[in-house]
Amino acid sequence: MVDLDHKGWRVFASPLVGFLLLFLGFPILIDLVYSLSRVSFTNLRSPEIVGFGNYGEVLGDAQFWRASWFSLRFGVITAVLECVLGLGLAVFLSPLIEKRSWLMAPLMLPLMVAPAMIGLMYRLVLHEFVGPVPYYLYLWFGDSPSFLNAENAFWTLVVVETLQWTPFALLLFYTAYRTIPNDVREASAIDGASARQILTAIELPLMRPTLIFTFFIRFIDGFRVFDNVYTLTGSGPGGSTTSLPIYIYEAFFKQGAIGKAIAASVILFLASFVGLYALTWLSRRGKGAAS
Amino acid sequence: MLKFTKITLSALALITASLGAANAAVTVLGWPGGSEETALRAVAEAYNAQSGVADADKVELLFYSRDGFYDKLQADMAAGSSAFDINLLATYSIGRYASYMEPVDLGPDAAKVFGESVLKTMQFDGKQYGVPTDLSLHFMYYRKDLIDALLADPAAKTKYAEISEKYFGKPLEPKAPDSWTWDDWAATALYFAKSVNPESPVRYGTVLQMKNLLFNIMVWQSVARANGGDWMDASGNITIDSPAYRTALELYKKLYDAGASPKDSLSYEYAETNAAFGSGQVATALQWNAAAGELTDPAKSPAVAENVGIVAPPAGSAGRADHIHGLGLGINKNAKNKPGAAKFLQWLATEDAALLYARSGGSPALLPDVAAKIAKERPDLVTLGQYAGAYGYVMTGATSANAFPVYELQAKEFTGYWSGQETLDEALANTKAGMEKLLKP
């Protein structure tokens, strides 16, 4: 092991720092300038600095808060559903998958499809005249609900997202579940623990890091949802299915309000940073209390 | 080492020479994947085969994918890209791109081929920015068998009168589609809706494309225009909160709420509308002219193709109106070969080139005497030219730099009203406020 002095660290770290400054620092700097400017596609190279007006416009825009609420609600609900379903499937299918490991391949198939394609696929699947779902509903019940109107679109999108990403949670939970030594389960069974007690008192606590990790990954993915929502409902009637990324995209490209779009993305970045920092702090505090 | 240097220098020279050759050609960025691409390929081939075209002015074609086409084009043009000499432009985005483009003189004969009203779809601030290659407008598609049965059945007429009295406060008589007013069409749509008339032979009377999408506003706004609606008056005041707009918005909501259009209409656009009408369960559809090929082709729409009738959109209190917008080709300000690009566009605006473009599948709007020359091969273009000339309109301000965001704003607010999330007053007030901001001089 070679000890590096201060100068050595500088030499070895400089390519990385240079790379970060070039590919992250420069765009961030430009973004900050644009977020403080009145800028459109016609004056990209000569933005007019206007101060914090764009931030004020974003924070005063009801659609921004509506989009934030949509993203937050969508992220939490889909993450919870995917984790609950993924955990249930991992526990119940574990004996079967252990014997027939090839079953994992078809279960993972939804992950192989691009989210934008999933959105397009459900445009067909749910279409009243060509989709199989409305067809069978009409055949069996004589009617089919509106899946994509303003009242139901949110829950349809939640189901679509959950169906695609539950296998991801299943994969991680199954892997964590199988790493728990059988000795532990056998010992607790000998001590008289029921299957439910083994699950709640032994297995779930041992899987806790994976549960938390998976929840956060899925929450982040759900929060920043764009592709499948955009291809399935767009921003929705009256903007009812506008997630934050869709809000930013539409402000940037559709409205040409570049300063406003970048101000919204800076606010999102800061909010995410504060949120993640708070969660990390809470997690450390929890660990400290536990030890 | 010397050998390596020689090889490197030779390779660089070869690359530079090939790039130079590529730069000398006229690169055209076209609309990909449809009849427009097929037609553009045909005219480019014909142009390049002409003996008078220098090698340096031969045309090469470039295509992006359709998804996000205008976003990518906008980013490229704003970045000052010279990767193409000629680019696609559309009526509703011409104001946005004009500052990155060069006006073009198409010559005096262009007006004899396309007519002034069609040339205007490619003008901004009084300057011509492109050749109008394809024109889009709307047709009212209807089921001839259903309408004929309605017109021939006295009991059906009585039911029709009852329904129209209930929804419009006056008993109406069924009429032939080419003399429909918007109220006649709406009464017909209600008559053929199972939710209103359980005896209807089809599930819905019409299919409204009401997704929050700017193109759907273009389809709908002819109802407002036919009643005298416009974006702004001659003094530049926003006139969106007018009786015409209120009537048009309320009409769509009335039909949607009554179940005359499919339940998911708020997520419908072009493709969903074709699928619904083509299923045989819908009596009428206001749809883009481009759908005519699909809906009248027995192989593509076997349930309805033999019975599809086409008329102009119905009339309102101010007459009949049909939204038109054009796709066209214009010169990039950063083009490397502007003279070559201008030559190609001037040739494209000639009658021979326009007819070749039409024969190859394109949809140029041609004056009646020009369209007559291909009437046998492309009868739809005769109708297109007639409707464009007689009923075509562009809303005041709809070619401005912010026309695109205005349509986006209207799409959001009006779908908010149709879906019951906003009142009509709120939707119109928000739209007016937004338009005042977007269209202020």
Residue B182: its H or E element:
helix B182-191
CA gap B39, B33 in Å, rounded: 11
User: Domain containing A191: what range?
Assistant: 53-290
Nearest C-alpha neighbor of B68 from the set A47, A240, A237, A116: A116
B279, A147: Cβ pair inside 8 Å?
Answer: no
Asked whether residue A3 is assigned to any structural domain, the reply reads: no
E strands in B52-117: 59-63, 86-90, 101-102
Domain total of chain A: 1
pLDDT score for B17: 43
Average predicted confidence (pLDDT) for chain B = 90
Give how far A32 is from chain B: nearest CA, Å. Answer: 19
Task: Report the pLDDT value the prediction gives residue B65, as an integer from 0 to 100.
Answer: 73
A112 within a domain of the structure (yes/no): yes
Tens-digit pLDDT profile for residues B375-421? 988 888 888 888 988 898 989 988 888 888 899 999 999 999 999 99
pLDDT of residue B5: 53
Look at residue B12 and give its three-state secondary structure. Answer: helix
**What angle in degrees, to the nearest 10, is found between the helix axes of B424-438 and B403-418?**
170
Cβ <8 Å between B272 and A253 = no
Asked if the structure places residue A2 within a domain, the reply is no
Query: Considering only residues 419 to 438 of chain B, which have any Cβ-Cβ distance to chain A shorter than 8 Å?
Result: 419-422
Put simply, the answer to whether B281 touches A123 (Cβ < 8 Å) is: no
Nearest 5°: the CA angle A98, A101, A102 is 160
Q: Is residue A113 part of a domain?
A: yes
Q: Cα B411–B63–B287 angle (5° rounding)?
A: 35
Query: Which candidate from A44, A128, A255 shows the least CB-CB separation from B262?
Result: A128
Identify the pLDDT of residue B340: 95
Q: How far is A231 from chain B (nearest CA, A)?
A: 10
Q: Is A210 helix (H, G, I), strand (E, B) or coil?
A: helix
Closest CB to A130 among B78, B211, B275: B275
List, as ranges, residues 142-201 from A with C-beta within 8 Å of B.
144-150, 153
A133 touches chain B (CB under 8 A): no
Tens-digit pLDDT string for chain A (291 aa): 556 677 788 888 889 888 888 888 888 888 999 999 988 777 777 888 888 999 999 999 999 999 999 999 999 999 999 999 999 999 999 989 988 889 888 999 999 999 999 999 999 999 999 899 999 999 999 889 989 988 899 999 999 999 999 999 999 999 999 999 989 989 999 989 898 999 999 999 999 989 999 999 999 999 999 999 999 998 899 999 999 999 999 998 888 889 999 999 999 989 888 888 887 887 777 666 555
Mutation choice for B interface testing from A127, A156, A246 by most B CBs within 10 A? A127
Interchain proximity B263–A146, CB inside 8 Å = yes
User: Helix H segments across chain A?
Assistant: 6-20, 26-35, 53-59, 62-99, 104-108, 115-125, 132-141, 153-179, 182-190, 195-197, 204-223, 227-232, 244-249, 258-290
In the prediction, which pLDDT does B343 show?
95
Structure confidence at residue A4 (pLDDT): 64
Q: Which CATH number characterizes residue A245's domain? A: 1.10.3720.10
The answer as to whether A5 is a domain residue is no
Residue given tokens 């965001």 in the structure block: B405
Say yes or no: B416 contacts chain A, CB-CB below 8 A.
Answer: yes
In angstroms, what separates the C-alpha of B106 from chain A's closest C-alpha?
26
By C-alpha distance, the chain B residue nearest A229 is B267
Contacts of B281 in chain A (CB under 8 A): 129
Structure tokens given for B360: 């190859």
Q: Give mean pLDDT, residues B62-85.
A: 85
Amino acid identity at A286: G
Distance, in angstroms, between A129 CA and closest chain B CA?
A: 6
Question: What is the set of domains in chain B, with CATH numbers?
Answer: 24-136+325-393 (3.40.190.10), 138-322+402-438 (3.40.190.10)
Choose among B275, B405, B422: nearest Cβ to A254. Answer: B405
Residue A206 covered by a domain:
yes
Looking at residue B21, its pLDDT comes to 42
Q: Is the pLDDT score of B7 beyond 90?
A: no
CB B268 within 8 A of CB B207: yes
The more confidently predicted of residues B11 and A84 is A84
Residue A205: its pLDDT value, please? 92
What distance in Å separates residue B212's CA from the closest CA in chain A?
5
> What are phi and psi for residue B169, nearest 5 degrees?
75, 10
DSSP for residue B399: T
B127-149 pLDDT per residue, tens: 999 999 999 999 999 999 999 99
pLDDT of residue B32: 81
- Alpha-carbon distance A15 to nearest alpha carbon in chain B (angstroms): 28
pLDDT at site B357 = 95
Q: Is A239 on the interface with B (CB under 8 A)?
A: yes
Chain A, nearest residue to B427 by Cα: A238
Which has more pLDDT, A109 or B7? A109
Tell me which of A181-185, B54-58, B63-67, B299-303 is least confident: B63-67
A120 belongs to a structural domain: yes
List chain B residues with CB under 8 Å of A250.
Answer: 408
Question: How close B275 comes to chain A (CA, Å)?
Answer: 7
- Chain B residues in contact with A128 (beta carbon < 8 A): 262-264, 276
Question: With 0-12 CB in 10 A as exposed, 13-18 as middle and 19+ as buried, what is A42?
Answer: middle
Decide if B276 touches A, using CB distance below 8 A. yes
Contact check, Cβ <8 Å, B401/A254? no
B393 backbone dihedrals φ, ψ, rounded to 5°: -150, 155
pLDDT at A289: 59
With a cut of 70, say whether residue B317 has pLDDT above it: yes
State the burial class of residue B423 (Cβ atoms within 10 Å of its Cβ: 0-12, 13-18, 19+).
exposed
Quote the pLDDT of residue A115. Answer: 92
pLDDT higher at B4 or A188: A188
| Tokens read off for B35 | 């009849």
Task: Tell me, yes or no, whether A19 lies in a domain.
Answer: no
Q: How many CB pairs under 8 A join A and B?
A: 97
